[in-house]
Structure 1
Amino acid sequence: MESVVSLHAVERVGLLLLLMVAGFAVMAHRLKVPYPIVLVLAGLVLSFVPHMPKIPLDPNLVFVIFLPPLLYSAAWTVSWRDFRKNLLIISFLAIGLVGFTVWGVAEFSDHFITALDWKAGFLLGAVLSTTDAIAATSVAKTLGLPRRIVDILEGESLLNDATGLLALEVGLRLLEQGNLPSVEEGIFRLIYLILGGLGIGLLIGFIVSKFERFIDNGPIELVLSLIIPYTAYLAGEEAKASGVLAVVAAGLYLSRQSARLFSPAVRIQVMGAWQAMTFVLNGIVFLLIGLQIPYVLAGIQGGFTRLTLVEYGAIFSGMLIVLRLVWVTPAIRFSNAMRKWRYPQEEDITQRESFVIGWTGMRGVIALAAGLSIPEFINGVEFRQRNLIVFLTYSVILVTLVLQGLTLPSVIRALGLAGEHGIEPEERYAREQAIRNAIAYLEDGKRQAADGLEHAYEDLIDRYEHRLAEVSDEEDREASKAEVYHALSRAAQAAVQVERTTIIGLRDEGRISDDVLRRLERELDLEETRFELKK
């Protein structure tokens, strides 16, 4: 009976979290503020409401349950070409900046915070070294920030989780054994961590791709896509390599292969389900961050006043922002010089773009989970600085996420980097080439068509020519055909609405079943999406 009551309590908490995620996400959409910021602030406020359920954040829950699918989803949307092109600057941020942050925080703690020595500061730096680019990239995409900045931020967030967790491993060893690993040992461990994780992830991706060729079922594909990130992560961790990089490698590989492995119907099902699941997981994670303040404050020891704690939190947050800005500028200048050798046609990353990259060093749930994973006892002795480290981590998350997240739109606009929405040059080129080849195919089919089918081919060719005029960037494009295409799209949408009204009426009259309605409705949804006008 007790287990039933416990299960009901878990259900109530889960339902409450989902309701809050949905409600505050709607608020964020109306306020035009990134939803992670609103959810964190909402959780923070709700944590002080009387009788509000206290929901602790278990670091194992983050690393084992939340992290693998979120990493896999993020890796799935990354462009491999752009990731490879920006790999040098991403490495400077994901590896070099992590080391620089750890060293900077350790030195600062040792000299300015009496409650923390160099070893505890090193551990704090390791905890704070990982960034969370979810809020930053959501703002960046909304404002039309140059795509390569978004690619760099996404690439950094995928890789620095692995190096940050390695730094955490080194920091814990420093406290337990009293010494840092040798340079050779550290380099070997980093190489094994990276190559082992990438190798395991690529192997899993390769094996899955071979089985995918025999599957063409949406629900089965969805279940398989859920198994992959957890399998890659656990395999990487079991091999003492990077489970994070294993998930990233599997996601990148299968994303590249998915265009040939998935049928259109399966791709629509799987991508839609993953989009919803990623939103829910991200929402719960950011809400839980806000709800942790009672636990963070309750654990503080050492007689610190609230004012002292606030000062520490503000100072550390400002220091981390400065450390990132100091590192990013020379790192980008050096990467610009190196990129010229391989990509001479590529434009340099400007100083304005460098500042935006430096301003997006937001911390998130990985940092908090890393802080919470620090043991309370080390070598049988209570680690009294643990709770202060957790508090400072929480403070940095709040300050960087809220301050930088809310000011990022203004920074982007002030620097003149907010672009206009529309068809990007690469997208325009791809659309144009695809349509031209389709027209050539239809022209050839028309010449070989049997009598009576010429008009059908001419109708299809005419539609494609209107679409070509709409996407063409040539100065002599036929404006009249583009206008005709827009009119055709509007008419097609109106016709679909007539069809939709008709089948709903037939269902309401009992002349067709709901099952028939849903099958026809899906076809109409796809058709309406195809003809949807660009806003």
Structure 2
Amino acid sequence: MDVLVFRALGLLGLAILVALAARRLRLPYTVGLVLAGAALAFFRVDSGLTLTHDLIFDVVLPPLLFEAALNIRWGEFRRDLVPVLALSTVGVLLCAAAVASGLVWGLGWQVEPALAFGALIAATDPIAVVALLRETGVTGRIRLLIEAESLVNDGAAAVLFTLVLAWAAHDAGAAGGPLAVVRALAEIAGGGVLVGVVVGLAAVAIAGASDDHLVETALTAVAAFGSFLVAERLGASGVLATVAAGIVMGNLGVLGARDGLEPALTPHGRTFVLGFWEFAAFLANSLVFLLIGSAMATIDFAREGWRALALAVLFALAGRAIAVYPVCLAFARTRWAVPANEQHLLWWGGLRGALALALALALPPHIPQRDDILICAFAVVAFSVIVQGLTAPFLLRVLKIGPPAAQTD
């Protein structure tokens, strides 16, 4: 126990140093964490933790998703629900198909692993995207579009990934026709939203009967992790469940005053809850990006070949472009039109991160080219977090998006 506590304190201390250094050097905090994690692995410093699917899903995702969803106002989200859903469903399918086609024709991959990789890399990662938006200070409608899409598109990606794995295993019952796809979407995405709404409403109702800020905060923690675990146990999307619970609790319990609703939580409870989840998100972000850096340092990228890795990154970028621009074009003459400069940010700011790695790490051993998928997933995430993360502030100035200070520096 003493060793575990010492290692946890060591990681927290490192995260604090990285945060201070990143602010002084004006570098994205997430990039600094990844580089620090890689340095730990290079110097063979054992952190006592390794990046696994269970760690990402059970420990890291719930607090990060809940904290982001807690600050989304339903009125703003509802106004852009149609383009968000289009990007999260049609966009995911277009991206996965484009990436898989590129791997088959450009690298000679088999169809099954190519589709599996396309599915896991199609969804933007809510962890990386939310961190990027926070660091760059992006606000307004474009922030809502990018953040909401990253929180929602996991449902479609999870359905697609599950169906691809079932098809690759020649399970005709699980990977049936269009009706099977609709049923799977209803069960995974719809079930996740339903669980989140029910858990969120229950937590708000109980919180309304208490005036203790500690009890109120404890209820939000139960809602965040409980909705995720219950949904996953039922075969639904834990990500969408936590997002739904966060939106319900945020709008009915914390943010309701601006929308004409009386918040269920006490004034002190609302302030305490927001501060608590901001700190929890900082801890989760620090942990996951340090571990991503450590894991990347142990991957033998040379085995795959630098040409193959470069093409995998290009296919991922091209797939994201195919997901963004045609979908936005469909809304060009509607009230949901997205300006061209914001479309460019949707494309370049659609980062891949821990979510893609979690799906890749969960691939069954019998999947052909499993090691190729894992190596290419780490390569795309490394490029996304480091290169796209580092260049995002410059892109914001070029596109004239973000706080006035960021545009005139």
Separation in structure 2 between the aligned mates of residue 311 and residue 47 of structure 1, nearest angstrom:
25
How far 1:36 sits from its partner (Å)? 0.9
Q: Retained in 2: the 8 A contact 1:336–1:349? A: yes
1:77 Cα deviation after fit? 1.0
Aligned positions of 1:35-434 closer than 5 A:
35-53=29-47, 55-114=49-108, 116-140=109-133, 145=138, 147-177=140-170, 180-259=175-254, 260-297=263-300, 306=302, 308-339=304-335, 348-376=337-365, 378=366, 383=367, 385-420=369-404
Which amino acid in the other structure matches residue 313 of structure 1? Answer: L
Change in CA separation of 1:282 and 1:221 when aligned onto 2, cut-off 3 Å: same
Q: Please say if residues 314 and 399 of structure 1, whose CA atoms lie closer than 8 Å, have aligned partners that are also in contact.
A: no
The 3 A distance-change label for structure 1 pair 324 and 384 is: closer
Q: Which amino acid aligns with 2:302?
A: R
Q: In the superposition, relative to structure 1, how do residues 375 and 143 fare at CA in structure 2: closer, same or farther (>3 Å)?
A: closer
Instruction: Quote how far apart the aligned CAs of 1:84 are.
Output: 1.1
Q: Hey, what's the Cα distance between the residues in 2 that align with 1:100 and 1:161?
A: 15
Change (3 A) 1:63 1:157: same
1:100-156 alpha-carbon deviations (Å, 9 max, x no partner): 122122222222224x30101111112212212555555545555451110001101
The 2-side partners of 1:184 and 1:230 are apart by 31
Q: Residue 87 of structure 2: SS of its match in structure 1?
A: helix
Structure 2 match to 1:32: 26
Report Cα offsets for 1:441-495 as digits up to 9, x if no partner.
xxxxxxxxxxxxxxxxxxxxxxxxxxxxxxxxxxxxxxxxxxxxxxxxxxxxxxx
What amino acid maps onto 1:352 in structure 2?
N
Q: State the distance in 1 between where 2:353 and 2:10 align.
A: 22
Shift of 1:159: 0.7
Question: Are 1:144 and 1:420, in contact at CA under 8 Å, matched by a contact in 2?
Answer: no
> What is the CA–CA distance in structure 2 between the aligned matches of 1:250 and 1:144, rounded to whole Å?
25
Question: CA 1:102–1:181 in structure 2 vs 1: closer, same or farther (change >3 Å)?
Answer: farther
For 1:110 and 1:329, the matched residues in 2 are separated by 23
Contact 1:47 1:54 in 2 (8 A): no
Q: Which has the larger radius of gyration?
A: 1
How far apart are residue 398 of structure 1 and its match? 0.6
The one-letter code of the counterpart of 1:263 is: T
* 1:60-98 alpha-carbon deviations (Å, 9 max, x no partner): 111112212211111101121121111122112211121
Measured after TM superposition, the shift of residue 321 of structure 1 is 1.1
Partner Cα distance (2:134, 2:6) in 1? 35
TM-score (norm. length: structure 1): 0.70
Alpha carbons 2:128, 2:352 under 8 Å: kept: no
CA gap 1:248/1:53 in 2 versus in 1, 3 angstroms: closer
In the aligned structure 2, how far is the partner of 1:324 from the partner of 1:276? Answer: 31
Rounded to whole Å, the distance in 2 between the matches of 1:177 and 1:66 is: 33
- In structure 2, the residue matched to 1:524 is none
Shift of 1:185: 0.7
Which whole-Å deviations, capped at 9, do the CAs of 1:322-377 have from their partners, x for residues lacking one?
2212331221121243436xxxxxxx42111111111112111111111111122x
| Counterparts of 2:24 and 2:178, CA distance in 1 | 52
Alpha-carbon separation, structure 1, partners of 2:341 and 2:313? 22
Report the CA distance shift for 1:138/1:242 in structure 2 as closer, same or farther (over 3 A).
closer
> How far apart, CA to CA, are the structure 2 residues paired with 1:277 and 1:160?
23
The letter for the 2-side match of 1:171 is V
Conserved? CA contact 1:145–1:418, under 8 Å = yes
Contact 2:35 2:293 in 1 (8 A): yes
Report what 2:260 is aligned to: none
Q: CA deviation at 1:194?
A: 2.4
In 2, the alpha carbon distance for the partners of 1:336 and 1:273 equals: 40
Deviation of 1:421 after TM superposition, in Å, equals 6.1
**Identical pairs, percent:** 28
Once residues 241 and 406 of structure 1 are traced to their aligned partners in structure 2, the CA distance between those partners, rounded to angstroms, is: 35
Moved more, 305-314 or 395-404: 305-314
CA distance in 2, matches of 1:72, 1:266: 16
Give, in angstroms, the shift of residue 51 of structure 1. Answer: 4.7
* 2:155 maps to amino acid: A
User: 2: CA distance between counterparts of 1:245 and 1:146?
Assistant: 23
For 1:474, the equivalent position in structure 2 comes to none
Give distance in 2, aligned partners of 1:308 and 1:292. Answer: 16
Gaps of 5+ in 2: 255-262
Measure, in 2, the Cα distance between the counterparts of 1:19 and 1:181: 50
CA distance in 1, matches of 2:243, 2:127: 16
User: Contact 2:351–2:385 (CA<8 Å) still a contact in 1?
Assistant: yes
Deviations 1:179-210 (A, max 9, x none): 54211110121123222222221111222222
The answer to whether 1:21 aligns with 2:15 is: yes
* Residue identity in the other structure for 1:386: R
